[in-house]
Amino acid sequence: MIRAFPHFGIHVTDLERSTRFYVEGLGFEAQEGGRTDTPGPLLELPGATVCTQFVRHPEGLRMELWSIEGGAAASADPRPANLPGRPHLCFIVDDLDAVAARVVEYGGQRLDQSRCDLGYGILMFCADPDGTRIELVQMTSQWQGYAQD
């Protein structure tokens, strides 16, 4: 069975912009990164040069942001929620509106139409600069479905 879950990866169109978004905007720490042509074939992109940047949240969540050097830009519009394989990130926040404002300040987008009261908290989706959905939850009471100290 699975022994560990060391990280997950998100493809981004502009590695520097996305690193700034997650580090300066959302409080992750930059870790090792690099540029290599080795993963190209592994990602079914023969001849591609893959650039990576790992970022880590102080609570332990680790992401690999990766891009293809000279690759074609994808749409930055938030992708539909029902697109198969489309990930979303979920963050518990102290102040939903303050974090949503930082999302916008660092190149993301608020999706205000998604805002709702779940009974145990307020939820709203945002999108990072490439359209990856970010679920923000401001807890108003304890619920076992979310880890909370």
CATH of domain 8-68: 3.10.180.10
The yes-or-no verdict on residue 114 having pLDDT over 90 is yes
End-to-end alpha carbon distance in the chain? 29
Compare 69 and 6 and report the one with higher pLDDT: 6
Beta carbons within 10 angstroms of residue 109's beta carbon? 18
Please give the pLDDT value at position 128.
Answer: 94
Each domain of the chain, given as residue ranges in start order, spans 8-68, 75-149
- Determine the Cα–Cα distance for residues 79 and 134; give it in Å rounded to an integer: 12
Q: Which pLDDT band, with edges at 50, 70 and 90, does 39 fall under?
A: low
Report d(CA 109, CA 100) in Å as an integer.
8
What SS3 class is residue 114? strand
Q: CATH second-level architecture of 75-149?
A: Roll (3.10)
Distance of alpha carbon 127 from the chain centroid: 8
Measured CA to CA, the distance from residue 115 to residue 89 in angstroms comes to 16
pLDDT band, residue 75 (cuts 50/70/90): low
Do the domains 75-149 and 8-68 match in fold?
A: yes
Give residue 66's identity as a one-letter amino acid code: W
The answer to whether 115 and 123 are in contact (CB under 8 A) is yes
Q: How far apart are CA 94 and CA 81, in angstroms?
A: 25
Q: What is the structure's pLDDT at 3?
A: 76
